[in-house]
Chains A and B, each alone.
Chain A
Amino acid sequence: MPENNWQPRIVAFFCSWCTYTAADLAGVSRLKYAPNIRIIRLMCSGRVDPQFVLEALARGADGVLIGGCHPGDCHYAEGNFKTLRRYQMLRRVLGAMGISEERIRLEWISASEGERVRMVINDLVERIRILGPLDLPGRLAACDAELGASAQALRLPQYRQPAADLREVIHG
């Protein structure tokens, strides 16, 4: 994909009770925000398996947004606290992988905060735009190609692509 035409692609996981409803409210209120976001509905932000986030990045997302109810307001009492815990862990994992922690974000947005949905999405899109494309699929392919070429040069038999292994780990 040519650099100048690049548009950030962001996958969002929203809890059905608060943030998804707030995104509906943003629609009903006809608030306008950047079209770079793709929202996936889950019952609770606590359902967000860290694998979902890694999968999204591995499939080509430039950023991931997780939206849940405010602390204390979780429809399921405390699911969002679990999300917070996993989010902190994920940020460290991503940092260790050399991926900017700014590419993932956790936001508490209640059902009435349509305006906040607009603000958060626009802000995240702008920040990701500054960070530039992540292009994890491209990087993984490049890694495969490079290692494959050196394996060929060294005439290593039965070469297995390490990037493909990584993908397998990520995809479970």
Chain B
Amino acid sequence: MKVKDDQPLRIGFYVCHCGHNIAGVVDCAAVAQYAATLEGVVLSRDYKYMCSSPGQELIREDIRDHNLNRVVVASCSPLLHEHTFRTAVAAGGLNPFLFQMVNIREHDAWVHTDKAAATDKAKALAAAAIRRVARHRPLETTRAPIHPDVLVVGGGISGIHAALTLANAGKKVYLVERDPSIGGHMAQFDKTFPTLDCAACILTPKMSAVRAHKNIVLWTYSEVAKVEGYVGNYTVTVRRKARYVQEELCVGCQECVEACVFKEPKFPDRFNVGLSRRKPIYMPFPQAVPQAVVIDPERCIELKTGKCKKTCLEACADRHAIDFQQKEELVQIHVGSMIVATGYELFDPRRLPHYGYGRYPDVLTTLECERLISSSGPTGGELRLHSGQAPTAVGFVLCAGSRDYKTNRWCSRTCCMHSMKLAQIIRERTGAEVTLFYIDIRAPGKGGEEFYDRALAQGVKFVRGRVAEVSDCPLSPAEQGKLIVRVEDTLAGMVRRIPLDMVVLAVGMEPQANAQEVRRIMNMSCSAEGWFLEKHPKMAPVSTFTDGVFIAGCCQGPKDIPDSIAQAGAAAAEALALIDAGGIDQEPNTAYISEEDCSGCKSCVDLCPYKAIAFDPVKEKASINAALCKGCGVCVAACPSGSIGQNLFEDQEVFEEIEGVLAHA
């Protein structure tokens, strides 16, 4: 076989057993024996764990002792360990790109049961890599600089924590939040499980710290509109929606709200999940950060008709904070990395009509119940029925929109603990009977089981069974005027009807409705359910497939506050590691044009989405700017004269692979 450099080929081939993962299905020794017969292979071994340090040491020593000039490892996916083995090859004194990896775990041993067929497939894939690696040439990586500024998207507890961590490390952070205030779902909670400490007492200081921090630029009521560039060098366009109030001039006195021509608050208040009313000009909630009011253009008479007395302007007087002329703005910023912490949405229980939400006023969601018992809520913390009376019997329906094949299959992880928290608070404050209808109580995490014990000790009743129906049709005098929960008590082995005053649905978590849009803007992937996909579920839980983009909190999957904060810290640490490394090595898979072969047809020029191809009208040749090339190879496949090559994915390398996979029967 012809090789570009003059040296004769000396390929070292290694098959990894990966314990039983590969060796349980693929006959590794047979693959090694087969590979030893192939052209250019001077050494062929099988070994238990190639990625372990003795495995890597083996490669290093063999390169030295056997004068290897190419290395092939058949093990797991290159997306997992290609970097590991390239590093080992480099440590052996060889250019790291004179290496090729064969995926015989994810693409072979794990997906096939027929051992003979799987072994044959491994041989074919090995033959392909051995043929391919012969064509490899030494390549050099380029190092891209990293812009030190970071964008954090989402101002819930995850985004807040990530932003503060980075800012405390001296990095400039842009925190972009869609709502008029940061705080997210946690701001709506009364207490947090399992410690029952007040949510506001631990969240609001962090919110103020964000506002006060000299390294944080806080943009609320803003959304990311566009992201361009690549790791280390992103250009982000942020849409700053019109608030109609100059944030920096507003002091948060709310005299304008008092003075509004609407004498009574009339419109549903989002913060209290529609349980209270607000005016067209309003403060999102008392502890909102920034402390600036916002005008709802859908409701404000001036903004709708231009014919209002504008009493708010008079009230604002010489502060001149209200600005009806304010327009949406697009602002461009440059950052090196981004943390996405866009959170979750609650399941809409109207999708489960048999639970009566929306039909019976005393069927609530956990968040509504939370607002009702919160001292900052619409009732000042008094749990009241629709009629105004205090409930004497309250039931919690768990797994409403979770662990359910008809709606969402996943466990939302927090609803058991959330319901037990509300149950305990209701027991304490009102003495009402509280019954939890559950499938399984899931109380993992620190203090979770103890919290469950505490709920039991407080006399909260637990009925095991998925609730079939909530109705108001009485069958007995005891059920008159009550909500009746029909449930199969799977421990008692009978169907029961339990009359209650109030039913709280423990609604699960769902990906944000615009998660797909955000995913596209950020160039991320989503799981089948719609949660943002991490690079590796265990080894890279906050990284994404796009370098420099990290994820934290519930946008990645349901989790509680401690887990969200832990992830936010991890994401901040990953971003810091990237920034402080000073640069990132880029895969040398760029395309290049051989000038003498280029016919100047310009087919490639318009194909490049990165404008990396320029045409020289004097020489009548195209050329590729390697700094702009991302290595997709679209132009390579299109060039009619075959004059474009792609490092790491040369035509000849792919042809060898094709021939290789088909050479073995």
Q: Are A47 and B636 in contact (CB under 8 A)?
A: yes
Q: Are B633 and A172 in contact (CB under 8 A)?
A: no
For A27, give its contact among B106, B113, B120, B637 (CB under 8 Å): B106
Closest chain A residue to B125, Cβ basis? A38
Interface assignment of A99: CB less than 8 Å from any CB of chain B: no
**Which A residues, 122 to 143, have Cβ-Cβ distances below 8 Å to chain B?**
none
Q: Are B113 and A32 in contact (CB under 8 A)?
A: yes
Interface assignment of B616: CB less than 8 Å from any CB of chain A: no
Q: Are A75 and B111 in contact (CB under 8 A)?
A: no
**Which A residues, 32 to 58, have Cβ-Cβ distances below 8 Å to chain B?**
32-33, 35, 38-44, 46-52, 55-56
Q: Are B112 and A79 in contact (CB under 8 A)?
A: no
Interface assignment of A92: CB less than 8 Å from any CB of chain B: no
Task: Give the contact-size bracket for chain B.
Answer: 35 or more
Q: Are A112 and B527 also in contact (CB < 8 A) when A46-B634, A49-B637 are?
A: yes
For B659, give its contact among A26, A47, A59 (CB under 8 Å): A59
Interface assignment of A60: CB less than 8 Å from any CB of chain B: yes
Count residues of A near B (Cβ-Cβ below 8 Å). 54
Closest chain B residue to A28, Cβ basis? B106
Chain B nearest CB, measured from A148 CB (Å): 24
Interface assignment of A78: CB less than 8 Å from any CB of chain B: yes
Q: Are B106 and A26 in contact (CB under 8 A)?
A: yes
Q: Are A43 and B107 also in contact (CB < 8 A) when A38-B121, A82-B634 are?
A: no
Chain A nearest CB, measured from B154 CB (Å): 21
Q: Are A20 and B79 also in contact (CB < 8 A) when A35-B121, A39-B107, A47-B633 are?
A: yes
Chain A nearest CB, measured from B650 CB (Å): 11
**How far, in angstroms, from A72 to B658 measured CA to CA in the complex?**
29
**How far, in angstroms, from A110 to B665 measured CA to CA in the complex?**
30
**How far, in angstroms, from A43 to B607 measured CA to CA in the complex?**
16
**How far, in angstroms, from A117 to B630 measured CA to CA in the complex?**
26
Give the most central of A1, A17, A47, A111: most B CB within 10 Å: A47
For B525, give its contact among A32, A78, A111 (CB under 8 Å): A111
Interface assignment of B654: CB less than 8 Å from any CB of chain A: yes
Chain B nearest CB, measured from A139 CB (Å): 15
Q: Are A39 and B632 also in contact (CB < 8 A) when A16-B79, A172-B651 are?
A: no
Chain B residues in 8 Å Cβ range of A77? 609
Chain A nearest CB, measured from B549 CB (Å): 12
Q: Are A82 and B631 in contact (CB under 8 A)?
A: no
Q: Are A30 and B111 in contact (CB under 8 A)?
A: yes
Q: Mark B615-626, 1 if CB is under 8 A from A, else 0.
A: 000000000000
Chain A nearest CB, measured from B174 CB (Å): 24
**How far, in angstroms, from A77 to B103 measured CA to CA in the complex?**
27
Chain A nearest CB, measured from B555 CB (Å): 15
Chain B residues in 8 Å Cβ range of A167? none
Q: Are B78 and A41 in contact (CB under 8 A)?
A: yes
**How far, in angstroms, from A16 to B399 measured CA to CA in the complex?**
37
Q: Are A43 and B106 in contact (CB under 8 A)?
A: no
For B662, give its contact among A24, A26, A60 (CB under 8 Å): A60
Chain A residues in 8 Å Cβ range of B654? 40, 42, 49, 52
Closest chain A residue to B660, Cβ basis? A38
Q: Are A61 and B662 also in contact (CB < 8 A) when A17-B545, A38-B124, A41-B78 are?
A: yes
Chain A nearest CB, measured from B107 CB (Å): 5
Q: Are B637 and A78 in contact (CB under 8 A)?
A: no
Closest chain B residue to A171, Cβ basis? B655
Interface residues, chain A, with chain B CB atoms under 8 Å away: 1, 9, 11, 16-18, 20-21, 23-24, 26-28, 30-33, 35, 38-44, 46-52, 55-56, 59-61, 72-73, 75-79, 82, 86, 110-113, 115, 118, 171-172
The 9 closest A-B CB pairs, nearest first, are A27-B106, A47-B633, A38-B661, A46-B634, A76-B632, A27-B110, A44-B632, A35-B117, A49-B637
Further 6 A-B residue pairs, CB within 8 A, beyond A33-B111, A44-B632: A41-B78, A46-B632, A56-B658, A72-B520, A73-B520, A172-B642
